[in-house]
Amino acid sequence: MKFRDGMWLVAEGKRVEYAEEIYSIDESSDGKKLSLLCPTMQIRSRGDTLNRPTLTIDIEAVTDGIISVEVTHWHGALNKPPHFELFPGGEPSVEAKLQKSSSGTTLSSGAISAAITSEPHTFDIRFHSTDGKHKLTSLLNRSVALAYDPATSSPMQTSDMREIHHYVLTQTTLGVGEQVYGLGERFGALNKVGQSVSLWNADGGTSSEQAYKNVPFWLSNRGYGIFIDAPERVELEIGSERCCRVQTSVEGQRLKWYIIYGPSPKEVLDKYTILTGRPGKVPPWSFGLWLTTSFTTEYDDKTVSSFLEGMKERDIPLEVFHYDCFWLRAFHWCDFIFDTKSFPDPKSSIARFKASGLISKVCVWINPYLGQRSPVFAEAASKGYLLRRKNGDIFQWDLWQAGMGLIDFTNPAACDWYVACLNKLFDIGVDALKTDFGERVPSRDVQWHDTSVDPGKMHNYYAFIYNKLVYEALQARYGADQAVLFARSATAGTQRFPLQWGGDCESTFEAMAESLRGGLSLGLCGYAFWSVDIGGFEGTPDAAVYKRWVQFGLLCSHSRLHGSNSYRVPWLVDDDDQSEEGCSAVLRKFAQLKCRLMPYLWSESQQAIKHGWPVSVRAMALEFPEDRTAWSCDTQFMLGSRILVAPVFDQSGEVEFYLPTGKWTSWWDGKAIEGPKWVKETHGFTTLPIYVRQGTLLVLGKEGEKRTVWDWRQDVEVKLFEPDAETGFTLFDQEGKELGTLGAEEVNGEWKVSGQDILD
């Protein structure tokens, strides 16, 4: 939201009151917090203290490398829940330090410091590394304010705020060349400078400014990040109102954010996920290939059997089958009851599929809505399990499902009922759940069971409580480390409940690139695991798009074939082309490649959940933060820390990609290229650019491996890529227990693998 008209004028219809000076500073007794009184005019006489608002700015040392900043106008305003669950793993201690000098007061929280000026009639707060080596950002003149819309002309008007919108805003400085990343799964330009961003979950597909996963966290290439502690709608103008500032605004009386110092982007994510939660663990089987029925396609038990048998006949390793929406009866979504006309005995069918080895796990689609046609609707409504309007009516509309209501997860009884419904699915053999939707949550004219909550905050936060409930139900049934979601909506903290997928994209090369940008942005917000609809969701992919998407999708941490009104089994895409470049052969090759990579992927995932880093897709800048070019790469990614992947987005097979400093070895032919360098290649459908970083040791499954899960000490191949004395690989078992480390040593001028005794 813009509050100004250019540099000099206030926007029409708005009134903005800026903090003009730091009048006084109060210290907390423990020395961890400073409270700044900031009038909205310079106080030069006693009369200036009258008839003017003030803003209070509380600056607090939180933990090493993190300082919070909270701006408040009227302290009497309620700060209603919900609030983000911060420090879910326990709050670390902090050693705060206060220093005073003639120039001002400095509060240090480990590696980060905030310096507040003592210059009279001046507003100046600067954030820097405590060692003085790095300037981060600042709050300078006219950078903290309250605003009214419509504009008020007298304080008397604020005695009735029912028709007046009140905002609090801050503007942090953008340095020369500074870039901004993250803010959830955003599908536009990777660098957000120049963009207006509204953090408000919406079901908008992958080709607009709307996003399913709005996360109020952004990462700067200057070695810091900012987490905005606001579940409600947050509006950002990132160099788009003032070119040299990031403006953050919320409607309300207070705005709080945390500045997090790295200095590397990996260290920023590490600290950010201490604050909002580490990514949860996922079981190794979930890395295998998933196949769905697609959305509106006609299918029944016979169709499913034919798909699974077809994959087996073509030697394509398949781990999970997913039943999408129409496993349920029409107009009954989502009451958890199989359509018996299409699936007369789902428990027996699922058991048969698993016993025959066609799949190992089953997933079904669910959402938090309930169509009124189902008898379950009446039950839920009568027991108070559905969200209500303020007049007492059940909130309903006809969007998506006729007369649908929304499960009210602020009601503990509704949560228990919902989990009981899920347990019935687990009883018939369901192992994982696709938690679709959760974005279309009304914020006006509604009354939640928990009457204390703010409906505006509940809109985004609903994604958190919905996915948390389902994830914990899976954990309770299958074990803490065996829970897997395929979730669409998210906000800050939802990384704790993996995994997330990229929403509804078109079946085009352009949408494939949009999806990659979305995954890169989400990964820069602490999400370790991510997937995408292979082949695209909307429309029917031609064979070229399908095969290129297969290559990309099988090199994401998780891989699922999915579509809307057309199937995604390969033989239906190209009339069952039997050549080595046919859809089936390409899918087989890359599914087997992923199986072969499992020891590496599993090792990388252990680091990802420990630190809050993405396994794949990982932005190049996380591995090469000192490389300016790496920050701009949005058509390639790192698969873990050692492997670079550049998907092909063109019918011709031509692809251009960037190799940072060092030697990079082609996965396919072993040729090495010295970076930094832009490279152009042309690839058929059996390859794409995959390059291994210098100094890498990989433990891999044997060529043609078809298993996702096996003992990774056996039936493996160990490969060195331009090794050095620091080269190593830590092997983990399927529970995440460290088995040992392999290294490289030079013997008589040749590099050999050391520590192989950990392998059987």
The two beta strands, 165-173 and 245-251, are: antiparallel
The Cα–Cα gap between 286 and 322 comes to 12
- The angle formed by the CA atoms of residues 197, 202 and 208, to the nearest 5 degrees, is 55
| Cα–Cα distance for residue pair 7/21, rounded to 1 Å | 20
| 504 is known as an active-site residue | yes
State how far the Cα of 246 lies from the Cα of 248, in Å rounded to an integer. Answer: 7
**Active site (annotated) includes residue 300:** no
Contacts of 499 (CB under 8 A, 6+ apart): 282, 286, 484, 485, 486, 487, 529, 530, 531, 557, 558
CB 245, CB 218: distance < 8 Å: no
Assess whether 481 carries a catalytic annotation. no
- Give the helix/strand (H/E) hosting 600: helix 598-611
Asked if residue 226 lies in contact with residue 258, where contact means CB atoms within 8 angstroms, the answer is yes
Q: For 499-538, b where at least 16 C-beta lie within 10 A, e where not — what string?
A: bbbbbbbbbbbebbbbbbbbbbbbbbbbbbbbbbbbbbbb
Q: Where are the alpha helices (DSSP H) in 484-578?
A: 509-523, 543-553
Q: Are 554 and 570 in contact (CB under 8 A)?
A: no
Tell me which of 324, 504, 574, 705 is the catalytic residue.
504
Token pair 């903090």: residue:
19
CA dist., res. 296 & res. 278, Å (int): 36
Q: Which residue among the candidates 237, 335, 436, 705 is catalytic per the annotation?
A: 436
Catalytic residue of the set 21, 70, 431, 439: 439
Q: Residue 4 class from Cβ within 10 Å (0-12 exposed, 13-18 middle, 19+ buried)?
A: middle
C-alpha–C-alpha distance, residues 726 and 183, integer Å: 35
In 640-712, where do the E strands start and end? 643-645, 654-666, 672-682, 690-693, 696-701
Catalytic positions: 436, 439, 504
